[in-house]
Amino acid sequence: MKQTDVGQKIRQARVKAGMTQSDLADKLGLSWEMISRYERGVNSPMHQLTAIARALDVTVSELLQEYDKSSVLYENHVYKIPFVVDMSSLQRGKSGFRLRNGVYFYGTPEWVRQIDGEVFALLPSLAKDHTGKIRKEGAVFVLLHNSLSDLSDLYVLYDRGSLSIKTADQMNDTDKQKILGPVLGQDVRFISE
């Protein structure tokens, strides 16, 4: 597991515990800057991991776990899914794409929770929209499923570290090999016009 992954888990546990970086730093006798460096993966937190876990009321193994679908949170009667706000959250492996440990989570509408498969929210500014159908504000819901689907006519493609959104008609055979997943919809709750 990478240092940045552990840092993301520390941040996730700290936010879930309702603590600021200063709060955690005070419990550990460190500066908030050092907590920030741990969370960003600049410094290794491994020599402090037991103390950090104790301060956050989690186990060391929770801070070392890889992301899995059970990481979907249910807090305050709202389901939360991983929210991809930068490219470091996506990883391409031999068997396709997967999400790395998420720092951010997005409160989802009920219909997203009912989808069979791994759904995540994507910041629209991360993907070049070739369709003109995606708004710049609000989260885009994507099913992590790297093939054509009957669930949508819009797809997120991953190519050499960048994302784009295309329709099935806009894709050639090479593009079809780059599918990250179908776009299930867009949440525009936070748009003010």
pLDDT at 98 over 80: no
For 62: left if phi > 0, alpha if psi spans -120 to 50, otherwise beta; the answer is alpha
User: Is 176 inside a domain boundary?
Assistant: yes
**Statement to judge: residues 165 and 94 lie in one domain:** yes
CB contact at 8 A, 19 and 56: yes
What's this model's pTM, rounded to 2 decimal places? Answer: 0.57
Of the given ranges (39-53, 90-104, 179-193), which has the lowest mean pLDDT?
A: 90-104
Q: Quick one: 29 and 102 in the same domain?
A: no
Could you tell me if 104 and 175 lie in one domain? yes
Asked if residue 95 has pLDDT above 80, the reply is: no
Whether residue 193 lies inside any domain: the answer is no
Minimum mean pLDDT range among 32-36, 37-41, 109-113, 171-175: 109-113
3-state secondary structure of 132: coil
Band of residue 103 on the pLDDT scale cut at 50, 70, 90 = low
Instruction: Please state, in angstroms and rounded to a whole number, the distance separating the CA atoms of residues 105 and 120.
Output: 9
Query: The CATH number of the domain where 170 resides is what?
Result: 2.10.109
Domain that holds residue 32: 3-64
Same domain for 12 and 100? no
Based on the structure, what is the number of domains in the chain? Answer: 2
Average pLDDT over residues 158-183: 91
Mean pLDDT across 175-192: 79
